[in-house]
Amino acid sequence: MDRVCVVTGASRGIGAAVAEAMARKGYLTVFCYDQHQESAEKLVRKLEAEGFRAVAFHCDVGSEEDIIGLISYAENLGALEVVVNNAGISESGMLQDITPAQWHHVFSINARGTALVCREAAKGMIARKSGRIINISSMWGVRGASCESVYSASKAAVIGFTLSLAKELGPSGITVNCIAPGVIDTDMNKGYSHEEMDELIRETPLGRIGLPEDIAHAACFLAEASFVTGQVLTVDGGFTL
């Protein structure tokens, strides 16, 4: 039976790098996309041309129906062994300027979406008594970020959720861990000016911002580690030290 990996938000950025790394590790990998179908399909075609196995699948993690459809699709491909909850959005601004609708939207994607994907994926994993769940949080969820309170709170929620689920699913042989990336070079950070980027680099002991591949390495480690659960693996070049 095929070993299947699902990565949400795999059309670009961190998710694309994680999904590519998982496909190269031999998982039949489901590249989930929301808006950028062509980008996900292009990555899948590239990997297929190299002999790796991957498929693109639409899933808006804001939709419970989409999530149920995604996990059912993945379970039909084989045994769903690894799930990476990567899809996420950011929202910045002073607390006074953030509307309840914005709070709801960020939490519905970053926190509720992650929880629902875990709920659906855990069903098959519990039955097989094996599985790896990797949730992408953020260093801002650990440390807090000015003018990013809603984003930071949603990412802190992912951490609390991960720790609880690790306890709940441990007896079923399932590990649940978080990665807390630092500043990674993706579209999400394109709002930073050159000066702000330089300042972030200066504050990073390793003297650079991260690449999506840095997070992919960490995800591959957690996918293989059988005795690591309930951990928050910070991958930030030392920024939060």
Name which position in 19, 22, 23, 109 contacts ligand NAP (CB under 6 A).
Answer: 109
Site for ligand NAP contains 8 (CB under 6 A): yes
Q: Residue 86 corresponds to which amino acid?
A: N
Handedness of CA 11, 68, 171, 155 (dihedral sign): positive
Site for ligand NAP contains 114 (CB under 6 A): no
Q: Is 151 a catalytic residue?
A: yes
d(CA 89, CA 188): 8
At residue 239's C-alpha, the angle toward residues 136 and 142, to 5°, is 45
Considering only CA atoms, give the Rg of the chain.
Answer: 17
Name which position in 6, 14, 115, 134 contacts ligand NAP (CB under 6 A).
Answer: 14
Q: Considering beta carbons, is residue 176 or 183 the nearer one to ligand NAP?
A: 183
d(CA 121, CA 123): 5
Name which position in 29, 138, 149, 162 contacts ligand NAP (CB under 6 A).
Answer: 138
Site for ligand NAP contains 237 (CB under 6 A): no
Question: What are the backbone dihedrals phi and psi of residue 179, each rounded to the nearest 5 degrees, phi first?
Answer: -115, 135
Site for ligand NAP contains 11 (CB under 6 A): yes
Q: Pattern of binders to ligand NAP over 159-188, x per CB under 6 A? A: ----------------------x-xx-xxx
Minimum distance from residue 1 beta carbon to ligand NAP (Å): 27
Question: What are the backbone dihedrals phi and psi of residue 129, each rounded to the nearest 5 degrees, phi first?
Answer: 55, 40
Name which position in 33, 57, 73, 161 contacts ligand NAP (CB under 6 A).
Answer: 33
Gap between the terminal Cα atoms of the chain: 43
Name which position in 25, 53, 62, 69 contacts ligand NAP (CB under 6 A).
Answer: 62
Whether residue 188 contacts residue 155, with contact meaning beta carbons closer than 8 Å, is answered with: no
Q: What is the dihedral of CA 185, 211, 6, 102, to 10 degrees?
A: -30
Q: Which residues bind ligand NAP (CB under 6 A)?
A: 8-9, 11-15, 33-36, 59-62, 86-90, 109, 136, 138, 181, 183-184, 186-189
Q: Which residues are catalytic?
A: 151
